[in-house]
Chain A
Amino acid sequence: MDTQIQELITGYVLGGLEAAEAEQLEALVARDDSVRTEVQLLQDQVHQLALLATPVQPPAVLKQRLMARVAASQQKQPVRASARPTAARSLSWAWAGVLALVVALGGWNVALRNENASLRETNLNLAQELDTTRAVRETLAQQVQSGDVAVQFLISPATTARKLEGTQSAPKASGTMFMQPGNDEAVLVVDGLQPLPEGSTYQFWLARANQQPVPSNTFKVDANGHAYLVVKATAQVNDFSQVMITIEPAAGSSVPSDGATVLQGSL
């Protein structure tokens, strides 16, 4: 291959060409298969040079932030992808059609009364399902809102992280609280907590020095012991000095139960 073209290619894959040279090379790529092939081969190869950089271990909090951001995006995805809402909307129209049909049938033929009654019952069932679906959509919408808050939090340069350590009751548990000065909301990410049986819940608490803890959100963890949530405090989060998570009755508690602490940390 011509030396000048080879120099254009090597300069191009390293991103070192001037604009006019890059345009010249791109024109060559468009009309010459051998140039295109050479560029493709060198484009991967050039990143062998990346291995000349000395590896540096990142801090653990970097991964926690990334995975929390990923988890938050996972929470948002089903609704953002609109698969379920679209289906729900389609069903809404279908049920509306069934309702109209039931009303029509009831009015124009006495012989169809029995069938009409049956359809009315079906309609009632569908209406109940519709209510249930609406409730699910409300929940999903709340999760999206919560996810949005979490993402905004995690990408903000003002956000700092505080570690929560598992107690003797939950030695494998860990958590990170992402907070901002002056903000009464924080994002909490926990891992390694046991899923709780019906009738129990995890509850988050904040406490000022030498004062009774203030109750905050209750939450459940998934089958992997993972949860993330946006917690809201009664004042700026940095007014508090301690946080903890306890196991409480399903409705939550106003004061933490004795010996129920599974995670705790200092702010």
Chain B
Amino acid sequence: MLSISWRSIRVFRFASGIHSGDRNVVPYDSDNQRTSEPEPPGDNLLMQRVAKGDEKALSVLYDRYSATVLGIALKIVRQRELAEEITQEAFWRVWQRAGTFDTSRGNFAPWLFGIVRNLSIDELRRRRARPQPVYDDPERPWFADLADDSADVEGDAWLHEQRDIVRTAMQELSPEQREALELAYFSGLTQREIAEKLGNPLGTIKTRVRLGLLKLRDLLQGQLWND
């Protein structure tokens, strides 16, 4: 079973409230330094401000999520310069599309991550027309060395907590399920392509993805931004 300490859960829930809830309007100064007020503004509240053209609100969201966004893009496209362009484009789209973001239908983080993933995978598929050797090297599968790509950065405490929760939950899945899920999310490959790459029947991959994702949902029920 997934084991997360009560202390960890309490810390997470407090932090989660800060980011996904919008209880308070808390000021922040022109340098985006949080003031002596106890709680920074939540993501959804910041998005409401961004939708009204508040550049500082975008700046706060950027400071909060840019390292995570660059990490996602880099893990997908595996090229630093390109990943930085995608990061900038993702936040530009946040700025442009803030008015379409509906806080009643979801939270900011998965919305943002969806934008980054789509941009990255679109780019990956464009580049796949000109195959990259790294994807075809059986001695060095690209997903195996991702952790060595860059140094871990001490980011936002809330995101750090969320990341730990997801990683802990992933350890509860079988290695095969983990591999299938990571490939499905980060490779831009269809399930059929994943099956071919791993040399498994398509049905096996579909089962691993289904069981893995549903088990992850059960493990994280009530713990991440959806709840």
Contact = CB atoms under 8 A, between A and B. Distances in A.
Contacts of B182: 49, 52
11 contacts: A7-B209, A11-B209, A16-B209, A41-B226, A44-B225, A46-B185, A49-B185, A53-B75, A56-B149, A57-B70, A69-B92
Interface of B: 30, 53, 55, 58-59, 62-63, 66-68, 70-72, 74-75, 83-84, 87-88, 91-92, 95-96, 106-107, 109-110, 113-114, 116-117, 121, 146-147, 149-153, 155, 159, 162-163, 166-167, 170, 181-182, 184-186, 188-192, 194, 206-207, 209-210, 213-214, 216-217, 220, 224-226
B226 A6 contact: no
A10 B190 CA distance: 12
Interface of B is mostly: helix
A216 B69 CA distance: 38
Interface of A: 3, 6-7, 10-11, 13-18, 41-59, 62-63, 65-67, 69-71, 73-74, 77, 224-225
A225 to B, nearest CB: 8
A53 B226 contact: no
A56 B70 contact: yes
Contact of B62 (A3, A14, A49, A63): A63
8 closest residue pairs by CB, A with B: A55-B67, A47-B110, A50-B113, A53-B71, A47-B113, A53-B75, A49-B185, A14-B184
B210 A66 contact: no
Given A45-B217, A51-B163, A7 B207 contact: yes
Contacts of A67: 55, 58-59
